[in-house]
Amino acid sequence: MKIAMVSLSLSLFLLASPVFSAERCEPFNKPVNAGNTPAYQRLIQKSLTEKIPLKTIDITQVQGEKEWLVVYASTEVADPGAFFFRNNQFVDVWGGQPALSEKEQVMKWTRDHHVPDSLAQCFFATVAIDE
């Protein structure tokens, strides 16, 4: 009986974990709308070596904390990526979707760039895939 309860509790915890993660990240999610999309597109445009029209930059999500922004975007010249900005200055871009098992490597990458830990955690929760 106790084993069944532990098993059930563990199962419920694992199911609730992504929801908790989404709730924890909600304060970092910024609205993407007609009023602010052009500003995000300009940030992406300035970060690219090849200049492309703003209308060809698709902004899908934005997260931010203090002076940091993570802008999830796709363009006609590159694969979708998470563009990191500090004080509206381009820092780096992350491309691809890491597996959950790669969390330590991703977190090291964010620490090396001085991304705040809570924003880095939400970034990982956004891009990671469960293999």
pLDDT of 75 reads 92
Hey, how many other C-beta atoms are within 10 angstroms of the C-beta on 5?
9
70-93 pLDDT, tens per residue?
999 999 888 899 999 999 999 999
Q: Per-residue pLDDT tens for 15-39?
A: 333 433 667 899 999 999 999 999 9
Which of 5-9, 60-64, 108-112 shows the lowest per-residue confidence on average (mean pLDDT)? 5-9
Which pTM was predicted? 0.82
Q: Where are the alpha helices (DSSP H) in 1-131?
A: 2-25, 37-47, 103-112, 117-127
Spatial distance between the Cα atoms of 36 and 22, rounded to a whole number of angstroms: 23
